[in-house]
Amino acid sequence: MSDTLILGIESSCDETAAAVVKNGREVLSNVISSQIDLHTIYGGVVPEIASRKHIEKINQVIELALEKAGVTLDDIDAVAVTYGPGLVGALLVGVSAAKAIAYAKKLPLIGVHHIEGHVSANYIEHPDLEPPFMCEIISGGHTHLVIVRDYGEFEILGRTRDDAAGEAFDKVARAIGLGYPGGPKIDKAAREGNPEAVDFPKPKVLDTGKTSLTFARGSHEMSNYDFSFSGVKSAVLNYLNKCEMTHEKWDVADVAASFQKVVVDSLVETAMRGVKDHNVKKFAIAGGVASNTALRAAMEKACAENGLDFYCPSPVYCTDNAAMIAVAGYYEFKKGNRSGWDLNAVPNLKL
């Protein structure tokens, strides 16, 4: 059987990325042009600036991905692109580039769900991993606990009721003066801090009595596997205010470590409850927050204690990249799924 090469394109937020992946598992190139420096002075991603930068970078990034893979567009079998969720202007740049290439080269076009991409990052370095397995997707915009029934097929068990985990990291980082992007900075600061220094409340979600729920796409039903991170974020802000009022000194590393511990404990506890209730044997994490060192260590330990095989992408495949989009695109391609020329950006695309 001949090899299948997928060109993946990702531009949903502040990374312009392109990659070439062989047979859904082997990354031939993975080019990421990050805009972090541009957005840092604003303390977060400015959508208008992101779109403009994507426009400037996208062609160079795609060319470099082909060059690094040692291929040309003539070798590519299909073009996969993130079409949602994300920032609409940013998504449109990737979608338009992918359409242009696919149309000009008469190649199949495959629109990929960004979250499906994050989950698929796990296939890159784990040739043995195949569905079904449970996956916790923890990113800047999303927190989901799902069972991956098959490639691209998800049963959603829980999701965040308010802030996504990464969003909470970013907001707390800003409040304690660490700046953007907050996740990696809290991760680093927390290593020097005491996680028991400040007693922030553990997130609690109201018991709904539902433990084996499959959500209809886009529904707002709640489940016992839901997450909530805005409470702990507010607790950090209240603590900082209290310290200011009472002239009490607080320590950046201690606050970072204490906040991180509560979030990590909640992510691990919910995941392990899901695993036990659903009797799964394989557990994976995905998304930007999955690159957090404390979380990776805690998850690995919990999985070992519960006799589970633990899967986790390397940090470069946890945060936004196009290799994961090409991998997800490969499995959609194999299933015969194709997008039409009317493929559009869908900023609030549901899983």
Q: Is 292 labelled a binding residue?
A: yes
Q: Is 138 labelled a binding residue?
A: yes
In 250-338, beta strands by DSSP E:
282-286, 309-311
Q: How far is the CB of 318 from Zn ion (least distance, A)?
A: 9
* Residue 181 interacting entry, from ligand KG4, Zn ion, none, C-beta within 5 to 8 Å by type: ligand KG4
How far is residue 140's CA from residue 126's CA, in Å, rounded to a whole number? 24
Q: Is 320 labelled a binding residue?
A: yes
Residue list 315-334, contact with Zn ion (CB under 5 A): 320
Token duo for residue 220: 């707002």
Q: Judged by CB, which is closer to Zn ion: 254, or 320?
A: 320
74, 103 Cβ separation under 8 angstroms: no
Q: Is 170 labelled a binding residue?
A: yes
- Strand, helix or coil for residue 154: strand
53, 34 Cβ separation under 8 angstroms: no
Select the residue interacting with ligand KG4 from 152, 158, 182, 329 (CB under 6 A).
Answer: 182
The answer to whether residue 141 forms part of the interface with ligand KG4 (CB under 6 A) is: yes
How far is residue 270's CA from residue 259's CA, in Å, rounded to a whole number? 17
Q: Judged by CB, which is closer to ligand KG4: 5, or 349?
A: 349
7, 101 Cβ separation under 8 angstroms: yes
Half-sphere exposure of 315 (CA within 13 A, CB side): 9
Q: How far is the CB of 169 from ligand KG4 (least distance, A)?
A: 4
How far is residue 301's CA from residue 221's CA, in Å, rounded to a whole number? 31
Q: Is 70 labelled a binding residue?
A: no
Select the residue interacting with Zn ion from 96, 139, 260, 291 (CB under 5 A).
Answer: 139
Q: Is 74 labelled a binding residue?
A: no
Query: Is the bond leading into 195 cis (omega within 30 degrees of zero)?
Result: no
**Pairing of the two strands 282-286 and 109-113:** unpaired
262, 231 Cβ separation under 8 angstroms: no
The answer to whether residue 94 forms part of the interface with ligand KG4 (CB under 6 A) is: no
Q: Judged by CB, which is closer to ligand KG4: 321, or 339?
A: 321
Site string for ligand KG4, 307-326 (x = CB under 6 A): ------------xx------
Residue list 228-247, contact with Zn ion (CB under 5 A): none
How far is residue 22's CA from residue 327's CA, in Å, rounded to a whole number? 9
| Backbone region of residue 55 per phi and psi (left: phi > 0; alpha: psi in -120 to 50; beta: other values) | alpha
Only segment of 179-187, 202-210, 267-275, 328-336 that touches ligand KG4 (CB under 6 A) = 179-187
Q: Is 113 labelled a binding residue?
A: no
Residue list 236-295, contact with ligand KG4 (CB under 6 A): 287-289, 291-292
How does 222-248 read in b/e, with b if 16+ C-beta sit within 10 Å? bbbbbbbbebbbbbbeebbeeeeeeee
Q: How far is the CB of 164 from ligand KG4 (least distance, A)?
A: 7
Q: How far is the CB of 284 from Zn ion (least distance, A)?
A: 15
Residues that bind ligand KG4 (CB under 6 A): 13, 139-141, 166, 169-170, 181-184, 187, 287-289, 291-292, 319-320
Residue ranges for the binding site?
114, 118, 137-141, 170, 183, 187, 292, 320
